[in-house]
């Protein structure tokens, strides 16, 4: 944002007014006889340009056109397969194992999660693994396992489409298609997923700026997705004591400034079970509309990411506590 | 941590047991006839080595000696000039302007903060400014202003010593000496501050690992400081929409795993007033024992960092809300 | 790497031997009556475990199995469509515009590049753009333009496959398939590209560790790619004065320690034309086997990334200078 | 930089002209009847505002005043105790051990370095160690050892002042005072060092932006330092395979755009001996005017940082090779 001054305006007085509204401003000077231009830094509080235009001495307020108008136009509360998510809705739980391991595993998990108030069954059919030699998920067959388990228990399904070929089967079986962190800027995939016309859960890339993340959402909406829920799952960091770095500042911004429904995945963010509970609480306090938490009946036997899975027995206690803090789930 | 196996142990079974406890493990092999060594990654959940030693097939568990024994030995609840901070104590508020601007300013601020439950008056006498031409603080005289304002209102004083020459005057006037982010690894300064034998508030450096931060605390304790309270204030980030990036994962780790009293400064972390409230709530939920929040009666007239200061009138509402969420301040 | 000591070994003496070889070592202790285990940090110089095994007092040296055996087995000098790249081969230039704009544009560019010693014509048919509303490339038709321009001038073609649907047409027209930064961990795409059985240029993801990058190469080789050339193009940074941060330490490691052919793209790394020449020189000095440089006859009219394109007239001078520094291209 | 357009100017035509000059531009719009303002991103090529002012359709070019006028006014070639450094001068070598271990050690090192063309003896008297329990340097006495060794061999001394108390003794014994990475923003220390009126070697902080680094130089010059030589030594990174991440883009910018003499320390950047040589070559190619390299006769016996020290016998070969690449040292 750039604020132009009227000729003869008292610069220090205008600066005071801008500072008073939470704006970080630097002054740029052209020819000596022209008033300075005031450049507002992006880490300033959000204000209505019209309000600034009314300040004594201000000639004009120039702004960049939103690069993501469809995202900006999303309602603050979305409906995902009948489940409301966002402003005013109870916090949504999306839980399940990293990988779906069998039909029985899916069903048993769903049966234990539903009574805890978990509305979305999450789990991987196609798994993005760092090594080509690691277990890559059971594939298409696991989608059916999830669907049937969800139907049997009255839950919804959210699962990842890792490539364009997976979009059709995932769209057929899931209520919400997940875009993984590693694919946040895989634009051909985003377009294919958008064309499937299903709600999307869009995880943030490991080094994505907020603007890039919102633009990835714009790709989805522009390609046909009816709605996009953003999901913060931790970004890359220099500190090795957590698997990733949970950016709750981004969550607060998306929830309170950009007014987007946002879900937080503390499991991937921390990678360590001993801080998932406080980070889950913190995510809700920062403005998250839901949480995605990995769980497993026997983490030691999980086919992937067992170390970060919350044992199902512990999840019960955690969700009960979070539910009362968040205002309760239905 | 390295787990050695007994000869003939079933590796996969031991791995299952370690995974079940939240450990990320990789296997290293020496000569073919020796059992593998299992290396535990630092982002694993904390477990007692003795517990691992009892797993069937485990020969031995080797651990690194703590590099910061004095920090590890700190009690979970500290007493700072009569104010308890940490486990079981009510959340502590440390509020005030970026710079102390006059004796009247200090007193008026203290008089408005005390009734809100704020126990520590914070404010800068010596200011670390990125530019040598920016206002550098009023210096020693401002220390007296703060002290008298605090005494008149029953508050404590926390303020930064920017250099070794400031240590004596700050120690004389303050209840707690602040080490700023930019000086977290200024070891000569840490030693000088430690020798002053006052409680210290140690802000995290902008790119400091948790280990480096704890070691900076160790410098202070080893040099004579009676206690160290850690303060997370945001680290460097690639995203320009906030001033810094608040790392609440580090807060959760310090509070719940390292068991250290920790304070969060959402003002510097965000730099923008419109997300300070949700980040303050999130910090408490993550395990913070207190908050440091910049405030000013008229942010537009602040001599530094006005854009991030919460107007005093808004602070009242914020602290009331936080207080009830946190269990209330005395 | 973990070094086990013999019972009774003098720890300090072994540590001296390891340090002398450039190893950063920390000591972990199990039960008091067992010798310490010495853990070697990953930023240590590469040494042969067998050499360490010969040090007096060392019982055993345990190492992790390579996670990317196919990458490790690549020869140091590859043949890409008849062009040698890697150890002992002259430095390879890959030049062209960000986007291919027309058949005439492709041909004219190739005709001007070939005499400069440029062997690979680079250019985008499918463009990964941050915004869905930006020019997305001319698509399949541009592949034919590139192919015919290259054939007419005796050049090779390298261009990006952005999605699985592009793999077949790109494989048909190009000599080398490029994987873009944003897709470095799009595993379904990597597998599809590998199955095309063409040489691949694998750009590093914006926050990818070296290990993740090598593993992405392993995906390609395991899926059928005959060879992978790594390409460093800058990673995410907190400093806004360059578009990305060129990591020549990674280049030195890949070239001199991992012994992989590696190409550097200083255009995307810097984003600014005024430092492309020194960074190109530095890349060759660090061990790059080739350079990818964006160029345009009229950067002001480029359909994308014009600001970072070196004007064709300047490229001539730059390549002449680099060629003599690098030992000359044929 | 902000470019204002004349009323009625053809925006696309002006954008073309700016792009042609290497500028990344975004357009901001105020009221509909006013021409757009064009905001130039900081990663654009440097251009003279006056040149832009001459473009058809441009009304005015507003720029921010330099925040570091004294740095900007430094000559491109400095004289440090009789040794020229910077534009046109031969590359300068600054070598020596991490810590100075004894008077004999200092003298022997100097006697072996001088014939290699090394003009500056570097070494630590006061050492900034991450742990308070690590060797902290021999202190003041080591300054005398260095001074006498340098005098005996015709060398200069550069060594770090870690705290304000060290400034006087370091200034007395050294030709150039080093500011370490961890102290780059210790403003009280910078002022104290500036007042000593000696040339300064200013290492970059681990997460310092270029602007913050230049401003730290401005602190020194504004406080009395006659000259500042910048030193890049690697910044914090998420990749564990090198100790730090060498930012040669910053070196190219400082050398070729900001026109400052700059030295590179590949030893700390890499932390591993096996890539110091290629990174040293790359640094010179990027525009470095000198190199600081840690060396030791017997790295295994070094009191600190032995793993990254180049054995003295290898340094000979390295400097000979670099010398001929760099144009030779006198």
- Write down the CATH number for the domain with range B69-326: 3.20.20.70
Residue of D nearest to B235 (CA): D207
Predicted-complex ipTM score: 0.96
Instruction: Choose among B130, B205, B207: nearest Cβ to D215.
Output: B130
pLDDT at C143: 97
The pLDDT tens digits for A215-253 are 999 999 999 999 999 999 999 999 999 999 999 999 999
Cα–Cα distance, A287 to A261 (Å, whole number): 9
Provide the mean pLDDT of chain A: 95
Confirm if B171 and B198 have CB atoms less than 8 A apart.
yes
pLDDT interval class at C330 (50, 70, 90): very low
A303 SS3 class: coil
Chain A positions touching B238 (Cβ under 8 A) are 207, 209
Instruction: Choose among C4, C28, C34: nearest Cβ to B30.
Output: C4
Mean pLDDT of C47-55: 96
| pLDDT above 80: residue D92 | yes
pLDDT interval class at D328 (50, 70, 90): very low
CA B280 to chain centre: 14
Residue of C nearest to A179 (CA): C186
pLDDT interval class at B202 (50, 70, 90): very high
The pLDDT tens digits for A179-191 are 999 999 999 999 9
| pLDDT above 50: residue A99 | yes
Confirm if C159 and C174 have CB atoms less than 8 A apart.
yes
Chain C positions touching B4 (Cβ under 8 A) are 30, 37
Instruction: Choose among D182, D188, D236: nearest Cβ to B165.
Output: D188
pLDDT at C326: 54
Instruction: Choose among A207, A219, A235: nearest Cβ to C132.
Output: A219
pLDDT at D326: 54
Cα–Cα distance, B262 to B283 (Å, whole number): 10
**Torsion angle of alpha carbons A152, A157, A160, A164, nearest 10°?**
90
Q: Angle, nearest 10°, between helix axes B312-326 and B103-113? A: 40
Chain B positions touching C29 (Cβ under 8 A) are 62-65
Mean pLDDT of A64-70: 96
Buried-exposed string B303-328: b where 16+ CB fall within 10 A, e elsewhere: bbbbbbbbbbeebbebbeebbeebee
- List residues in chain B touching D: CB distance below 8 A: 67, 126, 128-133, 162-166, 182-183, 185-189, 191-192, 205-207, 212, 215, 218-219, 222-223, 235-236
Is there a contact between D238 and C278 if contact means CB atoms under 8 Å apart? no
Chain D positions touching B189 (Cβ under 8 A) are 163, 186, 188-189
Q: In what order do the strands lie in the sheet with C58-62?
A: C25-28, C37-40, C2-5, C58-62
Residue of C nearest to B36 (CA): C62
Residue of B nearest to A238 (CA): B209
pLDDT at B330: 31
Rounded to two decimals, the pTM is 0.97
Confirm if A16 and A55 have CB atoms less than 8 A apart.
no
Cα–Cα distance, A252 to B237 (Å, whole number): 16
Confirm if B199 and B78 have CB atoms less than 8 A apart.
yes
Inter-chain contacts counted by CB atoms under 8 A, chains A and B: 187
Q: Positive or negative CA dihedral for D300, D306, D311, D312?
A: negative
Compute the nearest-CA separation of A128 from chain B (Å). Answer: 18
**Percent of residues, chain A, with pLDDT higher than 70:** 98
Chain D positions touching B215 (Cβ under 8 A) are 130-132
Residue of D nearest to A62 (CA): D30
The pLDDT tens digits for B42-98 are 999 999 999 999 999 999 999 999 999 999 999 999 999 999 999 999 999 999 999
Neighbours of C298 (CB within 10 A): 13
Q: Which residue in A47, A230, A239 has the most chain B C-beta atoms within 10 A of its own C-beta, making it the best mutation to test that interface?
A: A239
Compute the nearest-CA separation of C214 from chain D (Å). Answer: 13
Least confident of A141-155, B316-330, C111-125, D197-211: B316-330
Mean pLDDT of D147-154: 98
Q: Which residue in B68, B187, B304 has the most chain D C-beta atoms within 10 A of its own C-beta, making it the best mutation to test that interface?
A: B187
A267, containing H or E segment: helix A266-270
Confirm if B14 and B36 have CB atoms less than 8 A apart.
no
**Torsion angle of alpha carbons C249, C250, C251, C254, nearest 10°?**
130
pLDDT at C327: 44
Compute the nearest-CA separation of C42 from chain A (Å). Answer: 13
Chain B positions touching D215 (Cβ under 8 A) are 130-132
Instruction: Choose among C129, C163, C236: nearest Cβ to A207.
Output: C236
Can you spell out the DSSP letters for D17-36?
Answer: HHHHTT--EEEEB-STTS--
Inter-chain contacts counted by CB atoms under 8 A, chains A and C: 98
Is there a contact between B62 and C237 if contact means CB atoms under 8 Å apart? no
CA-based nearest residue to D71, from D192, D297, D289, D226: D226
Confirm if D123 and D95 have CB atoms less than 8 A apart.
no
Cα–Cα distance, D280 to D267 (Å, whole number): 9
CA D71 to chain centre: 13
| pLDDT above 50: residue A329 | no
Can you spell out the DSSP letters for C255-312?
Answer: IIIS---EEE-HHHHH-SGGGHHHHHHHHHHHT-SEEEEEEESSGGG-SS-GGGPEEH
Is there a contact between B44 and A279 if contact means CB atoms under 8 Å apart? no
Chain A positions touching B234 (Cβ under 8 A) are 249
Provide the mean pLDDT of chain B: 95
Is there a contact between A240 and B209 if contact means CB atoms under 8 Å apart? yes
Q: Angle, nearest 10°, between helix axes A187-195 and A164-173? A: 30
Compute the nearest-CA separation of A236 from chain D (Å). Answer: 7
D70, containing H or E segment: helix D69-72
Q: Class of the A2-62 domain?
A: alpha beta
Distance (Å) of CA D17 to CA C270, C302, C307, D55:
20, 12, 10, 7
Compute the nearest-CA separation of A2 from chain D (Å). Answer: 8
Cα–Cα distance, D263 to D234 (Å, whole number): 12
Q: Which residue in A26, A67, A71, A130 has the most chain C C-beta atoms within 10 A of its own C-beta, making it the best mutation to test that interface?
A: A130
Chain A positions touching B40 (Cβ under 8 A) are none
pLDDT at A33: 83
pLDDT interval class at B30 (50, 70, 90): confident
Neighbours of B193 (CB within 10 A): 28
Chain B positions touching D183 (Cβ under 8 A) are 183, 185-186
Inter-chain contacts counted by CB atoms under 8 A, chains B and C: 61
Cα–Cα distance, B30 to B38 (Å, whole number): 11
Inter-chain contacts counted by CB atoms under 8 A, chains B and D: 96
The pLDDT tens digits for C105-155 are 999 999 999 999 999 999 999 999 999 999 999 999 999 999 999 999 999
Confirm if D243 and D268 have CB atoms less than 8 A apart.
yes
Mean pLDDT of B305-318: 94
B126 CB burial (10 A radius; 0-12, 13-18, 19+): buried
Strand locations in A123-267, DSSP E? 156-160, 176-179, 200-203, 228-232, 262-264
Residue of A nearest to D36 (CA): A62
Instruction: Choose among D130, D218, D236: nearest Cβ to B215.
Output: D130
Q: Give D39's strand partners.
A: D2, D26
Is there a contact between D67 and B219 if contact means CB atoms under 8 Å apart? no
C79 CB burial (10 A radius; 0-12, 13-18, 19+): middle
Instruction: Choose among C131, C165, C222: nearest Cβ to A132.
Output: C222
Residue of A nearest to C209 (CA): A236
Instruction: Choose among C23, C248, C271: nearest Cβ to D307.
Output: C23
Q: How is chain B split into domains, by residue range?
A: 2-62, 69-326
C319 SS3 class: helix
Is there a contact between A188 and C162 if contact means CB atoms under 8 Å apart? yes
Is there a contact between B272 and A242 if contact means CB atoms under 8 Å apart? no
Instruction: Choose among C186, C235, C236: nearest Cβ to A182.
Output: C186
C51, containing H or E segment: helix C49-53
pLDDT interval class at D30 (50, 70, 90): confident
Cα–Cα distance, B238 to B207 (Å, whole number): 12
Q: Do domains B2-62 and B69-326 have the same CATH topology?
A: no
CA C88 to chain centre: 17
Mean pLDDT of A185-210: 98
Compute the nearest-CA separation of C266 from chain B (Å). Answer: 20
Chain C positions touching B40 (Cβ under 8 A) are none
pLDDT at A326: 54
- List residues in chain A touching D: CB distance below 8 A: 1-2, 4, 26-31, 34, 36-37, 39, 60-65, 236-238, 240
CA A47 to chain centre: 24
């Amino acid at each position: 944002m750039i604020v132009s001054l009227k000729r003869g305006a008292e610069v220090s007085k205008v600066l005071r007014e801008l500072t008073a509204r939470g704006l970080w401003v630097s002054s740029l000077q052209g020819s000596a006889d022209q008033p300075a231009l005031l450049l507002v830094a992006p880490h300033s509080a959000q204000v209505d340009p019209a309000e600034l235009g009314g300040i004594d001495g201000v000639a004009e307020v120039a702004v960049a056109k939103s690069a993501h108008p469809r995202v900006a136009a999303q309602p603050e509360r979305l409906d995902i397969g009948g489940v409301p998510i966002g402003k005013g809705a109870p916090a949504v739980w999306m839980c399940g194992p990293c990988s779906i391991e069998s039909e029985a595993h899916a069903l048993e998990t769903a049966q234990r999660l539903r009574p805890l108030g978990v509305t979305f069954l999450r789990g991987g059919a196609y798994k993005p693994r760092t090594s080509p030699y690691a277990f890559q998920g059971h594939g298409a067959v696991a989608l059916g396992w999830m669907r049937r388990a969800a139907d049997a228990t009255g839950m919804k399904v959210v699962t990842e489409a890792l490539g364009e070929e997976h979009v059709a089967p995932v769209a057929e079986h899931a209520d919400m298609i997940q875009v993984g962190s590693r694919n946040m800027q895989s634009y051909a995939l985003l377009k294919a997923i958008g064309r499937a016309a299903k709600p999307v859960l869009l995880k943030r890339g490991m080094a994505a700026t907020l603007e890039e993340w919102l633009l990835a959402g714009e790709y989805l909406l522009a390609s046909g997705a009816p709605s996009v829920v953003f999901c913060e799952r931790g970004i890359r960091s220099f500190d090795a004591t957590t698997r990733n770095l949970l950016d709750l500042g981004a969550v607060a911004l998306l929830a309170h400034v950009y007014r987007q429904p946002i879900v937080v995945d503390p499991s991937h963010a921390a990678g360590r079970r001993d801080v998932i509970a406080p980070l889950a609480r913190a995510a809700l306090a920062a403005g998250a509309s839901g949480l995605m938490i990995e769980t497993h009946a026997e983490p030691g036997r999980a086919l992937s990411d067992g170390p970060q899975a919350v044992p199902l027995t512990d999840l019960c206690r955690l969700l009960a506590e979070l539910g009362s803090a968040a205002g309760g789930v239905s």
